[in-house]
């Protein structure tokens, strides 16, 4: 009988501890989802997106005016929504009013705007990355093209070799070029002797 009483009391103790743990977990989750906490996340996201857009526009990675105007319009609309939601959140001065806003769906509205800001941020990054990678690929292509294909003059060393040694451009690397020069000079001397 003692073992039954012990097992019953241990089961009750486990049930109480488990219930308290679940309540604390739910309470912590709800607290993180309160409008007063979610509005801070939204403001940080919006500021980060605005900074990204501004930096990419200044660096020229968003060259199309239509795309920039679209992003600016979307940012202004999201900033207006954030301002409206912020005023609703900051009207709640007590913990109970904050939970009332949570139950009324204010956190869900903030979550929707957060999602829209994340989509806008992804669009800004993807458009600018396409432009940046396109520029990088063009720069790499220009580096890999030979000089004559891109319309630039060839380096002087190639031209000088062709001008100074027009007959010797396809010489065998094992042939001694000094012998060919001596033969040419001695042949020229023979020719001069014959003509005199």
Name the CA radius of gyration of the chain, rounded. 40
**pLDDT at 194 (0 to 100):** 46
At 148 the pLDDT is 47
pLDDT value, residue 117 = 95
**Confidence check: pLDDT of 57 > 80:** yes
pLDDT classification of 193: cutoffs 50, 70, 90: very low
pLDDT at residue 5, as a whole number: 65
Contact 121, 45 (CB under 8 A): yes
Which is more confidently placed, 108 or 190?
108
DSSP 111-122: HHHHHHHHHHHH
Is the pLDDT assigned to residue 21 strictly greater than 80?
A: yes
Q: What is the largest distance, in Å, between two alpha-carbon atoms of the chain? A: 143
Rounded mean pLDDT of 49-62?
89
First-last CA distance in the chain = 143
80 touches 151 (CB < 8 A): no
Confidence band of 163 (pLDDT split at 50, 70, 90): very low
**Distance between CA atoms of residues 144 and 109, nearest Å:** 53
């Amino acid at each position: 009988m003692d073992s039954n009483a012990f097992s019953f009391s241990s089961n009750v103790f486990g049930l109480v501890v488990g219930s308290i743990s679940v309540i604390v977990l739910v309470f912590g989750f709800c607290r993180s989802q309160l409008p007063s906490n979610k509005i801070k996340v939204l403001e940080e996201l919006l500021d980060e997106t605005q900074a990204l857009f501004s930096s990419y526009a200044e660096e020229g990675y968003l060259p199309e005016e239509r795309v920039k105007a679209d992003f600016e319009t979307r940012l202004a609309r999201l900033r207006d929504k954030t301002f409206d939601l912020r005023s609703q959140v900051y009207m709640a001065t007590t913990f109970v009013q904050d939970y009332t806003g949570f139950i009324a769906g204010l956190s869900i509205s903030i979550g929707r705007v957060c999602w829209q800001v994340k989509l806008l941020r992804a669009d800004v990054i993807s458009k600018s990355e396409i432009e940046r990678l396109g520029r990088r690929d063009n720069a790499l292509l220009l580096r890999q093209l030979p000089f004559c294909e891109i319309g630039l003059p060839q380096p002087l060393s190639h031209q000088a070799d062709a001008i100074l040694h027009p007959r010797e451009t396809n010489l065998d690397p094992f042939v001694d070029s000094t012998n060919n020069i001596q033969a040419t000079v001695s042949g020229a001397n023979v020719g001069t002797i014959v003509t005199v």
